[in-house]
Amino acid sequence: MRAEEFGKRPLEMEGWTVHLISYRIGDRYVAEVEDISSGVTIARNIDEVCTVAEEHAIETAVKRLSRTRRVNLDLSLTVGG
């Protein structure tokens, strides 16, 4: 058993650039949405159909990314400062 049919494409979600990665292991497809900067997997979904796995991974990733707050900070802030 191996990972096969690898695919990777960039997507914009909630203002973030992510990678949608998909591959097949055995008879299951895995879809992952990955943050480009940190490499963290934001969402992963598994299904017998590749497009379904991708759709659900995207759906979850959009939900999670929508909760990420962008804040304005005084960049002169330092620990103890």
Partner 1 sequence: MANYKYPEVLVSTDWVLAHLNDPNVRLVEVDVENNAYELGHIPGAIAWSWKRDLSGQTRRDILSREQFGQLLSNSGIATHTTVVLYGDNNNWFAAWAFWQFKIYGHKDVRLLNGGRKKWLIEGRELTLDVPAHSPMEYQPQALDNSIRAFLPDVQNAVQGGAAEQVDVRSPQEFTGEILAPPGLPETAILEAHAS
Least Å distance between CB 32 and partner 1? 9
Query: Could you tell me the smallest distance in angstroms from the CB atom of residue 2 to partner 1?
Result: 5
Pairing of strands 16-25, 28-35: antiparallel
Looking at the Cβ atoms of 51 and 66, the one nearer to partner 1 is: 66
Furthest CA-CA distance within the chain: 56
Residues of the shown chain interacting with partner 1 in the complex, contacts defined by CB under 8 A: 1-4, 6, 16, 18, 23, 25-26, 28, 30, 33, 35, 37-44, 46, 61, 64-65, 67-71, 73, 75-80
Residue type, 56: H
Q: How far is the CB of 75 from partner 1 (least distance, A)?
A: 6
Spatial distance between the Cα atoms of 43 and 32, rounded to a whole number of angstroms: 6
Q: How many whole angstroms separate alpha carbon 22 and alpha carbon 43?
A: 12
